[in-house]
Amino acid sequence: MVKSAASFSRPTASPFDRLHKFHGGLKLPGHREVSASRPISSAGVPAILVLPLQQHIGAPAECLVQPGDTVYKGQLIARQVGAISAAVHASSSGTVTTVEERPVPHPSGLQAPCIVIETDGLDRYQDSESTALDYSRMEPDELCTHIRRAGIVGLGGAGFPTQVKLGCGKHKIELLLINAVECEPYISCDNRLIQERAAEVIEGARVLQHAVQADNCIIAIEDNMATAEQALHTALATSNATGIQVTRVPELYPSGGERQLIRILTGREVPSQGFPADIGIICQNVGTAAAVYNAIIKQQPLLSRIVTVTGDGVVQQQNFETLIGTPVSHLVAAAGGYTQDVERLLIGGPMMGYTVPVDNIPVTKTLNCVLAVTREEMPAPPPAQACIRCGKCTEVCPADLLPQQLYWYARSSNQDAAQDYDLFDCIECGCCAYVCPSHIPLVQYYRHAKSEIWLKETQTKASDIARQRHEAHLNRLARIKQERAERMAKKKRALSSDDGSSDKKKAAIEAALERVKQKKQQASTMPKNVENLTTEQQQLIAAVDKRRQQNDEPE
């Protein structure tokens, strides 16, 4: 750290001018020309919005609305739960119709809890007045709170809550990296965003830079994005930003990967299982920077994002400003609908994306591309053959792993060995599967192994809790048993004890008996109501007493 700090504070121009190389990588055909050449258009307000409670990594948000509630655009409808979580806002005005399980964009095709809003088409905010925050006078913590309230997550794909990423660094952050290296084929949403809103990106980057107190900020851009780069330079020249530089990196997949990009720009390696913050770097997607701009300057939570709708399976390949929660079907309709020969629908790009069986899924915060492909464009992979141990996968692996070894271990479900070979450093970029001459679906093996390990971990955690609870249960039973035994023993002692206390008791009983006797005597000697009697009554009583004495005598 000390050494790197020294290298950062060098007074000469910039320490990041020299680019480095990461291991492996692929040159892929771009397929972006059409979508990148058309301006971003609005996808409009759909009839219904489906907002999943979990659109990020971490705990799902907690729903705050009920069916029948009227919501305004920008209203908080689900709040953050725990530290790693993100809030969800209504992306347009309307009425909440239901809160239920709906299909969501996920490779499993499973359903997840969603808030469904029937829009009223008015798209109205609760209160229209908002003043831009003067972020330069705010404390980083305060700024992070505002970013957290806006529900911003990493828009590059992983969806890690942004405030967590900004605030997690116990280390001093020296470099903020704005990632505009859109390396995956077909996707051009970041490219168009910069071309059309470069000033917002720059401003957002400055806010982020202030939030992490970084001296340096690099906006990294791919060398095939000349127009976007020009726009950034123009915006930089007009703003009075300092310490922000735009760096062009050569086109190579996957240079937009966080670790790969850090490697290219600084030559340094993010530790295995660690975070970039561990080496004083924070990397944010360019879309996230624009969202931060909206949150701080425009005072607007994350309500929409740019989605590339592309592939030969749609009529008009284009980028759309899309409200979060818009159904993908609506988005495809906005792009002119499907073509005749559409084969399948992917969420994400061709390398890291996944096929979805239906298009009634909503656009989430992390969904950057809807790719409808034809059979010619992306034929089904030929049947997998045996691994011939050619080693091509190892040559292209950008994470410097041994994909072949990982494949053997993942296939034989030897998860411990796979972890020994750093399975979790795999970024699932798909380079190994792309070059595999045997067409082995390598990435799927790794994903399977990873999710198995995660499942096992959660099971272990659950069984640890069950063990603790069972022990507590046994302790409780033992305690109750002991307490009962003590109580019984006490009673027994009290009954069987033969010390002086029994005499006292006897005395007390006798005293009580004596009292009763006295009372009885009093009652018999002094009958009540004998005063103020008439002579007639007295005679009657005397007669009765006489009879009673006569009756008693024979006995």
Partner 1 sequence: MLIAIIALGILAALIGLVLGYTAIRFHVDSDPVVDQIDALLPQTQCGQCTYAGCRPYAEAMAAGEADINQCPPGGEATIQALADLLGRDPKPLNPEHGAHSEKTVVIIDEQVCIGCTLCIQACPVDAIVGAAKQMHTVVRNECTGCDLCIPPCPVECIHVVPLTPTIGNWVWPKPSAQALGEVQHG
Half-sphere exposure of 273 (CA within 13 A, CB side): 6
Torsion of CA 124, 125, 131, 137, to 10 degrees: -130
Q: How far apart are CA 415 and CA 418, in angstroms?
A: 5
Site for partner 1 (CB under 8 A): which residue of 36, 104, 166, 292? 104
User: Which one, 338 or 445, has the nearer CB to partner 1?
Assistant: 445
Quick check: 441 binds partner 1 (CB under 8 A)? yes
Q: Taking contact as CB under 8 A, which single stretch among the options 19-27, 204-212, 435-443, 487-495 is the one that binds partner 1? A: 435-443
User: Which one, 226 or 466, has the nearer CB to partner 1?
Assistant: 466
User: Which one, 38 or 456, has the nearer CB to partner 1?
Assistant: 456
Q: In Å, what is the CA distance from 451 to each residue of 108, 399, 447?
A: 12, 19, 6
User: Which one, 54 or 329, has the nearer CB to partner 1?
Assistant: 54
Quick check: 422 binds partner 1 (CB under 8 A)? no
Neighbouring residues of 234: CB distance < 8 A, sequence distance ≥ 6? 198
Quick check: 495 binds partner 1 (CB under 8 A)? no
Site for partner 1 (CB under 8 A): which residue of 2, 380, 386, 494? 386
Give residues 448-487 in contact with partner 1 (rule: CB under 8 A).
448, 450-452, 455, 458-459, 463-467, 469-470, 472-474, 476
Quick check: 158 binds partner 1 (CB under 8 A)? no
Beta-carbon neighbour count of residue 54 at 10 Å? 20
Quick check: 227 binds partner 1 (CB under 8 A)? no
User: Helix axis angle, 140-149 relative to 189-212, nearest 10°?
Assistant: 140
Q: How far apart are CA 309 and CA 41, in angstroms?
A: 11
Quick check: 360 binds partner 1 (CB under 8 A)? no
Q: How far apart are CA 486 and CA 481, in angstroms?
A: 9
Q: CA torsion sign, 448 to 453 to 457 to 459?
A: positive
Question: From the CB of 481, what's the least distance to partner 1, in Å?
Answer: 13
For residue 132, give both structure tokens. Answer: 């831009």
Neighbouring residues of 496: CB distance < 8 A, sequence distance ≥ 6? none
Q: Which amino acid is present at 325?
A: G
Quick check: 210 binds partner 1 (CB under 8 A)? no
Query: In 3-state terms, the chain is what percent helix, strand and coil (to 5)?
Result: 40, 20, 40
Among candidate residues 251, 243, 273, 275, the one with its CA nearest the CA of residue 262 = 275
Site for partner 1 (CB under 8 A): which residue of 2, 6, 13, 110? 110
Q: How many helices (H) and strands (E) does the chain have?
A: 16, 17
Count of residues in contact with partner 1, rule CB under 8 A = 37
Q: How far apart are CA 92 and CA 89, in angstroms?
A: 9
For residue 267, give both structure tokens. Answer: 């030559």
Q: How far apart are CA 33 and CA 521, in angstroms?
A: 121
User: Which one, 141 or 457, has the nearer CB to partner 1?
Assistant: 457
Quick check: 141 binds partner 1 (CB under 8 A)? no
Quick check: 419 binds partner 1 (CB under 8 A)? no
H or E element in which residue 305 lies: strand 304-310
Q: Which amino acid is present at 267?
A: G
User: Which one, 227 or 451, has the nearer CB to partner 1?
Assistant: 451
Quick check: 445 binds partner 1 (CB under 8 A)? yes
User: Which one, 226 or 478, has the nearer CB to partner 1?
Assistant: 478
Site for partner 1 (CB under 8 A): which residue of 23, 72, 107, 248? 107
Q: Taking contact as CB under 8 A, which single stretch among the options 73-81, 100-108, 225-233, 529-537 is the one that binds partner 1? A: 100-108
Q: How far apart are CA 407 and CA 446, in angstroms?
A: 7
Beta-carbon neighbour count of residue 269 at 10 Å? 13
Site for partner 1 (CB under 8 A): which residue of 9, 14, 70, 108? 108
* 468 beta partners: none
Q: Contact 56/85 with Cβ under 8 angstroms?
A: yes
Q: Contact 290/351 with Cβ under 8 angstroms?
A: no
Quick check: 521 binds partner 1 (CB under 8 A)? no
Quick check: 389 binds partner 1 (CB under 8 A)? no
Site map 41..70 versus partner 1, x via CB under 8 A: -------------x----------------
Question: From the CB of 196, what's the least distance to partner 1, in Å?
Answer: 34
Site for partner 1 (CB under 8 A): which residue of 11, 383, 500, 554? 383
Q: Taking contact as CB under 8 A, which single stretch among the options 21-29, 194-202, 211-219, 439-447 is the one that binds partner 1? A: 439-447
Quick check: 447 binds partner 1 (CB under 8 A)? yes
Site for partner 1 (CB under 8 A): which residue of 106, 171, 248, 268? 106
User: Which one, 66 or 463, has the nearer CB to partner 1?
Assistant: 463
Quick check: 250 binds partner 1 (CB under 8 A)? no
3-state secondary structure of 63: strand
Site for partner 1 (CB under 8 A): which residue of 47, 226, 384, 533? 384
Catalog residues that contact partner 1 under the rule CB under 8 A: 54, 104, 106-108, 110, 112, 383-386, 411, 413, 438, 440-441, 444-445, 447-448, 450-452, 455, 458-459, 463-467, 469-470, 472-474, 476
